[in-house]
Structures are given as C-alpha cells and as structure tokens.
Amino acid sequence: MVSPKPDLETRLAEDHHQAIKLWLRLLTCTNLITAEIRTRLRENFETTLPRFDLLAQLERHPEGLRMGELSQRMMVTTGNVTGITDQLEAEGLVRREVDPQDRRSITVKLTPKGQQVFAEMARIHEGWVIELFSGLSAAEKDSLYALLGKLKKHLNHKEARP
C-alpha cells in the first residue's frame, strides 16, 4: 500500500522560516475546513459554497445589493455572480429589482422563501463550524482569534507592504 504524499507544510524541513511554515499551516487548515464545508453543503443541501455565500451576503443586507457589490464582497467576477443569481432566482430564493433611482441598476434581494431556506442552512452551517473547531478549547479559540486579529490588523496597515 502506498502512503499518501504529505502536503507541502508537512514536508518542510526544520530549517525553513517559521513564517513560511505558519503561512502554510494557515492555508492547510483553511483548505481542509473549506473542503469539508463544501462537501457538507453539497450532501445536505445540494448547493455550493458560492451559492451559500451569495445568500449570506443578501441575508446581511435585507435592502439588497447590486450585482457589482455582490461581486466585490464575494471576491468573484460579476459573470460568476450573474450565473449564481440566475440559478437562485429560478429556484425562487432571490429576486432582481430595478433600482428606482437608477433604472440601469439591478438590486438582488432574498425572497421570503430564500430567507427561510438560508436561515435553516445557516443554523446547520454554524453547527458544522463549531464541530470543526471542537479540537480546540475555548481558551485556545480565544487565543487563536486574538492572534489572527493582530495579524489581520498588521496586514491592513500600509507599513506591512514592502
């Protein structure tokens, strides 16, 4: 039996820079969590992570969002947002509305059905995330959250860029 090839983070020698090892550990954990969430969304709801993300954005903004805003918030192309919106609209989960102030602009909103479907998905999704982090104690989660917050703050400052 051939053993699986270890990921890059595992293969790094001890003499590699600690920052590189940490960066790879963050990437590995992110990829593992994302893959598990994608699988569970597909198996439990027959949906994708981008569809879930679009519904989540709209749930946070009941007044609706323009297609460009959705694209920016989801960090995907407007073409991708259009395709996802088309699917969700066909399922009755979202609706497009012409902006009364700018008739060229379309706002996307959750329908009542979309609100109900997303609320159930979000409730179950939260349980999955809690389960995936259950290997850490409450104190460890607090520490990790604080450290990642500190890193995020550092990265958001112009001084962090070479």
Judged against a pLDDT cut of 90, whether residue 120 lies above it is answered with yes
pLDDT tens track for 57-112? 999 999 999 999 999 999 999 899 999 999 999 999 999 999 788 888 899 999 99
DSSP count for the chain of H helices, then E strands: 7, 3
pLDDT tens track for 24-69? 999 999 999 999 999 999 999 999 999 999 999 999 999 999 999 9
Nearest to 29 by CA among 52, 9, 47, 6: 9
**Whole-number pLDDT of residue 132:** 98
- The whole-angstrom separation of Cα 149 and Cα 162 is 20
Q: What is the CATH number of domain 48-132?
A: 1.10.10.10
- The whole-angstrom separation of Cα 60 and Cα 12 is 41
**Whole-number pLDDT of residue 108:** 96
**Whole-number pLDDT of residue 18:** 86
